[in-house]
Amino acid sequence: MSLTLADLKPGNRVRIINVDTADDAVVRLMSLGLIEGVELEFINSSLGGDPLELRLYGSAISMRREQARHFHVENTD
């Protein structure tokens, strides 16, 4: 089973292993540093489940769950 950023729970630490670039919004997120090989931590999601908050390079970024499904990851814990 392939794990994506949309599947994570608060506190999970993962590494991006593949990015599906079919969505233009995903390409824009890649310019923020969400690329293959990057390690990040899932912080939390809003009460409705969208958007998601992630920490990478010491900064927090938010993304929609729909875009998070394009980032395939593996656990680093």
**Is the predicted pLDDT of residue 10 greater than 90, yes or no?**
yes
Chain segment 11-60, per-residue pLDDT in tens: 999 999 999 998 899 999 999 899 999 999 999 998 888 999 999 999 99
Instruction: Report pLDDT for 48.
Output: 85
Query: Model pTM?
Result: 0.91
Measured CA to CA, the distance from residue 73 to residue 54 in angstroms comes to 13
Residue 75 has pLDDT above 90, yes or no: yes
Please name every residue paired with 23 in a beta bridge, in sequence order, or none if there are none: none
Q: Which domains does the chain have, with CATH numbers?
A: 3-70 (2.30.30.90)
Closest C-alpha among 70, 12, 71, 15 to residue 41: 12
Contact 48, 65 (CB under 8 A): no
